[in-house]
Structure 1
Amino acid sequence: MISWIMAVALVLPAAVLPTTVAVPDAEPPAREQIMAVPPELQARLRDEIVANHPSQNERLQQLVEFMFEPQGLGMAYRGDATYTVEQTYATREANCLSFTLLFLALAREAGLDAYPQVIEETLGWDQRDSTIYRNIHINAGVRIGGQRYTVDVASDSVIARQHPAPVSDQRLLALYYNNQAVELLAQNRVKPALAYMAEAIDLDPDYAAHWSNAGVIYLRNGDPAEAERAYTRALTLAPEHAGALFNMVGLYERIGDHNREAEFHRRLERVQQRDPFHHFLLAIDFEKNGNYRRAVEHYQRAIRLYPDEHRFYFALAKAYVQLGDTRRASRALLRAQAHSDGATRDLYQAKLESLRKPPDRPDIAH
């Protein structure tokens, strides 16, 4: 059995890896370089947004349009594109972290009160070789008077239990170095990965995910003792950190300490049983293997733990259709509709109408 090693990375759910992978520099950039705005971009911001739009609300609206519209920057999403502001401007590609770095830098140049935000628990995994990456998500917040706004490159693609929480610039920069370290690890460039992770920990030593990821890199570097120390530090900071617990299980299995392996496996299971995303992913796995009854069980557990996510109900409805239970499928779709709005709500209405059309077996694939 393969012992998977988990590491946190800031890629979005279901991101398609490009054929040409973004390659981080071997040496970490200086901290002040990460959010430095190139003079050409400063001039465009000044001429196209600041000069013509005196109010902060207007500047925010124009800046968002400038980021996305073809006549502005025309930004495109790319899951592995963890770049500095200068690199993002040059490539016009960004993941959620790079987009946030760029937006914050420009918003502040435009006189807006902008800050980074993080959603720690999202539904999204990426697997490459023998490493599993669990995703978090980052976006930007803006305060104007008594109002707060969120600017997000992919809010519709993220399933999250929590609202975004403001974090410091220090954490934001540490996440940049963390992300680059994880990408270097994926490319088997272990020594540079260690250098980037050292920067992340130096900036933000109280963030458990950095220590868990550092342990992954130490283990890949052939140092299980240092990996154990890093995982232990992560669990001291966050005793229920699923990534560090998962990594401890794999480490003790690897070195043959079965008592400690069993201990951490029990701790991990207790955490996972309370995690709706864990049950949702298990349900998807059962569904892929044709075990629709077990899929229904785990979709229901996910819903009990997090009853406000419309995609959980939609997935449950699809599993019921596979079991031939259109009555329960209709009820699940009604719940999905109740927890959604806009075009998504209309989609669920169309699926409901399809279910109610006899005699053919309905198809609600999405």
Structure 2
Amino acid sequence: MAISTKKLTLFYFFSLCVFLTACSSKHAGLVDIDTSKLLNDEAFPSYTNYPIETKKQIYALDNEMNDFVHSSLMHEQDPSKRARLLLKKLFHRSPEDLRYQNGANLTATQAFHQNTANCLSLTILAYSLANEADLTIKFQEVLIPEYWIREGSYNMLTGHVNLKVVGDSKSPFVVVWNGKETVIDFDPYSVKKHFPKNIISKNRVTAMFYNNKGAQALVRNEFDLAYAYFRASIKQEPDFSPVWGNLGLLYKRIGLQDYAEQSYLASVNYNYKNYNAWNNLAILVTEQERHEEATKIYSYIHKARMENPYYHGLLGDEAFYNGEYKLAINHYKKAKSMLGKEHEFYFGLAKSYYKLGNYKQSEYYLLKAKRYARFKDIEDKYQSKLNLLSRL
């Protein structure tokens, strides 16, 4: 059997959103799924007790936010300059700069006032403010490679979205200024790499928001709340592949194996390149001793992912989590050799060497991690660890 990660993984769009995964040919059991029969409300009797944010609430502005737009932005006539001014003002409107936080899945209003958010919530906030500022904008899905973060015993697959400014809703400005697009993006790395992009709907972004919230609830073992959010995501965008994969994981957690398998299959029906759902399906069929099916899935996933440095980083995270620090170092070094400016690979090496008692190497890689950090709060986190390490 090919090397594979056996930890359950779920789609968790802390940054902004992509979902790539696959099998070379259709799985032997892959058939058309009647998804209308896969929402099992009876299995989660308390799900209706939870107030789920409405679409209107997710994107709403309050009076202070409206004042911010009209006092800070509307004097600028050129929509391209107005968009850049929005980004500048948004990050520097208070003594403490806007902070990035993985798990902060917030509405636009919450993100504005808490001055912290993950990338999806920052994009939702920017969308709402830009809309009030008479900018015509579109959401873009950025097709980054599969990328994971760890949340306890889960590996969380992330993605990315940004905003493209295409004009001014109240003026004759056109889509392009001086031959260049105006993009609002909270991750400069994705902009520099020029990844492919797809225009996506507001409904799709809303489904992502609900899926994020459901994933967080699932990690906390709040199963009825998780179901409420996954259900809302499906109602918003029924063909959104990642949420079906997460729903399958939820069903598996409560022992509904048949529902879990059908949900995974629904997920890969909507996106046959959904390696994450295939991986969780392989785990399920392995537990059912359907080893031939599992082996085929694992082999293809491994082959498809070998060129992705973040996959090697994931294997490093798995090894580190299991206390196999020398193996983790090998995986992180492989990832680093493929993508030399990713701070998380260096941090993986730093913490692995620390566990082995090699503080000199740990400090060396922490300095590298700090050098390549893309957000100030992450850079500060590495500096605090360096400060602690210098006292040893």
Counterpart residue number, 1:61: 84
Q: 1:159 to 1:127 in 2, by over 3 A?
A: farther
Counterpart residue number, 1:262: 295
Is the Cα contact below 8 Å between 1:36 and 1:85 reproduced in 2? yes
Q: Percent identity?
A: 21
Distance 2:301 2:280 in 1: 10
Distance 1:281 1:228 in 2: 24
CA RMSD of aligned residues (A): 3.5
Is the Cα contact below 8 Å between 2:242 and 2:267 reproduced in 1? yes
Q: 1:33 aligns with which of 30, 34, 57?
A: 57
Counterpart residue number, 1:83: 106
Distance 1:28 1:272 in 2: 36
Please list the CA deviations of residues 118-166 of structure 1 after superposition, one character each: whole Å capped at 9, or x if unmatched: 2243463222333211111222221243142221223248997823332
Q: 1:208 aligns with which of 238, 241, 250?
A: 241
Distance 1:270 1:156 in 2: 26
Q: Which amino acid aligns with 1:255?
A: Q
Please list the CA deviations of residues 101-127 of structure 1 after superposition, one character each: whole Å capped at 9, or x if unmatched: 010111111111112122243463222
Q: 1:83 to 1:191 in 2, by over 3 A?
A: same
Q: Which amino acid aligns with 2:139?
A: P
1:67 counterpart SS class:
helix
Q: 1:244 aligns with which of 271, 277, 297?
A: 277
Counterpart residue number, 1:5: 8
Is the Cα contact below 8 Å between 2:148 and 2:310 reproduced in 1? no
Q: CA deviation at 1:294?
A: 5.8
Q: Which amino acid aligns with 1:27?
A: P
1:136 counterpart SS class:
strand
In the alignment, is residue 43 of structure 1 matched against residue 73 of structure 2?
no
1:143 counterpart SS class:
strand
- Aligned residues, how many? 302
Counterpart residue number, 1:197: 230
Q: 1:26 to 1:47 in 2, by over 3 A?
A: same
Q: 1:158 to 1:12 in 2, by over 3 A?
A: farther
Q: Which amino acid aligns with 1:226?
A: Y
Q: Which amino acid aligns with 1:77?
A: Y
Q: CA deviation at 1:228?
A: 0.4
Counterpart residue number, 2:155: 132
Distance 1:72 1:66 in 2: 12
Q: CA deviation at 1:252?
A: 1.4
Q: Which runs of 5+ in 2 are unaligned?
A: 17-48, 168-173, 354-370, 373-392
Q: CA deviation at 1:54?
A: 2.4
Distance 1:248 1:159 in 2: 35
Is the Cα contact below 8 Å between 2:144 and 2:190 reproduced in 1? no
1:205 counterpart SS class:
coil
Q: CA deviation at 1:285?
A: 7.6
Q: 1:34 to 1:56 in 2, by over 3 A?
A: same
Is the Cα contact below 8 Å between 2:5 and 2:318 reproduced in 1? no
Q: CA deviation at 1:283?
A: 6.9
Distance 1:228 1:209 in 2: 14
Q: CA deviation at 1:277?
A: 3.1
Q: 1:161 to 1:265 in 2, by over 3 A?
A: farther
Q: How does 1:167-206 map to 2 (within 5 A)?
A: 167-206=200-239
Is the Cα contact below 8 Å between 2:15 and 2:120 reproduced in 1? no
1:311 counterpart SS class:
coil
Counterpart residue number, 2:30: none
Q: CA deviation at 1:293?
A: 10
Distance 2:81 2:192 in 1: 30
Please list the CA deviations of residues 235-279 of structure 1 after superposition, one character each: whole Å capped at 9, or x if unmatched: 122223110111011111223333332232233233223544324
Q: 1:122 to 1:158 in 2, by over 3 A?
A: farther
**TM-score normalised to structure 1 length:** 0.71
Q: Which amino acid aligns with 1:11?
A: F
Q: Which amino acid aligns with 1:109?
A: E
User: Which deviates further from its counterpart, 94-103 or 199-208?
Assistant: 199-208
Counterpart residue number, 2:188: 155
Counterpart residue number, 1:103: 126
Q: 1:278 to 1:131 in 2, by over 3 A?
A: same
Counterpart residue number, 1:218: 251
2:137 counterpart SS class:
strand
Q: 1:118 aligns with which of 141, 146, 150?
A: 141
User: Which deviates further from its counterpart, 270-279 or 207-216?
Assistant: 270-279
Distance 1:168 1:229 in 2: 27
